Each structure stands twice: as C-alpha cells, then as structure tokens.
Amino acid sequence: MKRLRLEKPYGTNVVIKKVECTNHLLRNYINRLRDISGKRKNDKGDVIPGCYRKVVHDRLLRLRYAVTEAIKYRRLEQTDRTYEATLTLLKADITNGPNHVFGDHTKCQSYFCEGQKKGM
C-alpha cells in the first residue's frame, strides 16, 4: 500500500485506500483456525489433545457462520454511530463468536442469540 501511495499510478488526485472484503476476511479467519486445529503443539510447545483439535475442526462452519451473521447485522444496522464505533462493535462480535459456538453466551448480543445469559 505504501508503494502504491508513493508511486501514484492513477494520478495525483486519486487517493488509494485498502478495502477488506468479507470473502478475504472469512477465508483468512477459517484458514488460521484450520491451521490451529491441525497443529499438535501450541506456540509454547505444549501438546494440544486431539479431542480439542477435533472439536475446533468440526465446528469451523459454525464459527464461519457466526462471523457472517455479525457482519451482515452490522452492515444492515441503521444507526447514527460513527464508522469506527461500528467497527469496534463488529470486532467485539467476531471476538465473541467462538464463545457463542462453544456454549458461553454471557457476552452474546440479543440479535446474535437467545441462549442462556448470565444470571438466568
């Protein structure tokens, strides 16, 4: 990106911005999760039991669906929030996706699930 901004291949009046699309986001997310589920040891060298790796591998589609639904909701949401605030909420939703998929619904938004909440 820096090189494109410096070279200005489209002229001096055109500002080049990087746009992250949903397909690339999802592909990178799932590829990293697939890599994690295939490794026998974590970064510290500790052994990860095969049953844990299998559970993650078996739920890849559900994890992807959680991210897809969060993106869809935040894209269609009509509010007066700033773009940065919407991105912050989307990041929180994506970060909470694995918790939701594996059964911890304490941080789930009401649009996201109707599962068991804290104190219920």
Residue pLDDT, tens place only, 47-62: 989 999 999 999 999 9
Q: How many domains does the chain have?
A: 1
pLDDT confidence bin for 117, thresholds 50/70/90: low
In a domain, 11, yes or no: no
Amino acid identity of residue 43, one-letter, is: D
In a domain, 15, yes or no: no
In a domain, 60, yes or no: yes
In a domain, 79, yes or no: yes
User: Rounded to the nearest 5 degrees, what angle is found at the Cα of 9, between the Cα atoms of 7 and 13?
Assistant: 95
In a domain, 29, yes or no: yes
Number of Cβ atoms within 10 Å of the Cβ of 99:
14
pLDDT beyond 80 at 120: no
Instruction: Mean pLDDT check: name the lowest of 1-5, 70-74, 95-99.
Output: 1-5
In a domain, 4, yes or no: no
In a domain, 12, yes or no: no
Range of the domain at 84: 22-120
In a domain, 8, yes or no: no
CA separation for the pair 118, 22 (Å, rounded): 31
Residue listed under structure tokens 């699930």: 113
- Please tell me the pTM assigned to this model: 0.72
CA separation for the pair 103, 59 (Å, rounded): 12
The whole-chain average pLDDT of the chain stands at 86
